[in-house]
Amino acid sequence: MSTYLLNDRFVKDDEISISIEDRGYYFGDGVYEVIRVYGGTLFTAEEHIARLYESAAKIRMQLPYGEEEMKHKIEQLVRDNGIDEGHVYVQATRGAAPRVHQFPGEDIVPVITGYTKAYPATASQHEPVTLKSVEDIRWMRCDIKSLNLLANVMAKQEAYEEGHYEALLHRSGTVTEGSSSNMFGVKDGVIHTHPVSNFILNGITRRVVMECCTELDQPVIEEPMALEDVYNMDEFFMTSTTNGIVPVSAIDGKQIGDGRPGPVTEALMAAFDRKLPVPVESK
């Protein structure tokens, strides 16, 4: 039976009960993180935990214990569940209270839950995927990793139903990011990606990719791409914690480059894989 994190305790499935009045359930009033585990080691844990506390602060929510303790708890959860390859999910809601929109009183404490999921470690996926562009109808605080994912869910479903792997979100023709990923185009050897702002999540994988770019002397322009320009990119790829770097072969049915991962994407995938805690086999 799996072990779960519930506030400051470790509990089994049958010991968990979450109130129907939890504000995460009513309002999506909470924040979350997903952290990869490679060879039993958390990857970029400090960055993810820092972002969790930043997201919480941005929604004016104070977590009952600090980042250091959170890291220890997450590490223990990974150990208790014997996770070698997989991820940890952790979320914090504002707590359980009768349903009114305004914050509950001071006596209501956040509810923290966490679980682990095991799956095989793979190196960056070389098999390219396709995207469908979808209007980005999310709110103006996409920098917060909030539980409110309805617009992301709707966009992903629209892409998925048409056989695509991910939705390429754009605001009136300006590309922002994916429904659960950051997006990068390559034109004439230069990478283009949306700058860090309130319109995108500052992805941890994005940050690792930027580090790789510095190490490889790979030029990057952090400016929004126009949707009409992405079709003419030489290469395109997306990044996320769960999937690392994923090459894109076509957007809206239009082939990118020759439809295969290009040299810039390949070099970044190799550089990214070298940063992982354990060597992983190519897919």
DSSP 14: G
Give the shortest CB-202-to-ligand PMP separation in angstroms: 8
- Asked if 37 contacts 116 with a C-beta cutoff of 8 angstroms, the reply is yes
Give the shortest CB-21-to-ligand PMP separation in angstroms: 27
Q: Contact between 269 and ligand PMP (CB under 6 A)? A: no
Which of 58, 77, 56, 78 has its CA nearest to residue 67?
A: 56
Q: Judged by CB under 6 A, how many residues of this single chain contact ligand PMP?
A: 13
The mark string for 171-210 relative to ligand PMP (x by CB under 6 A, - otherwise) is ------x--xxx------------------x-xxxx----
Which CB sits closer to ligand PMP, 180 or 218?
A: 180
The mark string for 76-115 relative to ligand PMP (x by CB under 6 A, - otherwise) is ----------------------------------------
Q: Contact between 148 and ligand PMP (CB under 6 A)? A: no
Which CB sits closer to ligand PMP, 167 or 186?
A: 167
Which CB sits closer to ligand PMP, 238 or 250?
A: 238
CA dist 64 → 67, 171, 279 (Å)? 10, 37, 36
Considering only 239, 249, 257, 272, the residue that binds ligand PMP (CB under 6 A) is 239
Give the shortest CB-82-to-ligand PMP separation in angstroms: 24
- Asked if 269 contacts 245 with a C-beta cutoff of 8 angstroms, the reply is yes
SS3 content of the chain, % helix, strand, coil (to 5): 25, 30, 40
CA dist 35 → 148, 149, 157, 158 (Å)? 19, 18, 23, 26
Give the shortest CB-97-to-ligand PMP separation in angstroms: 27
Which CB sits closer to ligand PMP, 23 or 138?
A: 138
**Strand positions, DSSP E, the chain:** 3-6, 9-12, 30-38, 41-42, 86-93, 111-118, 129-135, 166-171, 174-178, 182-187, 190-193, 220-222, 235-240, 244-251, 254-255
CA distance 161 to 139: 24
Which CB sits closer to ligand PMP, 3 or 148?
A: 148
- Asked if 271 contacts 211 with a C-beta cutoff of 8 angstroms, the reply is no
Q: Contact between 241 and ligand PMP (CB under 6 A)? A: yes
Let me know if 145 is a catalytic residue: yes
Helix (H) / strand (E) containing 78: helix 67-80
Active-site residue, from 73, 132, 145, 156: 145
CA distance 115 to 151: 24
Chain positions contacting ligand PMP, by CB under 6 A: 152, 177, 180-182, 201, 203-206, 239-241
Instruction: Just list the catalytic residues.
Output: 145
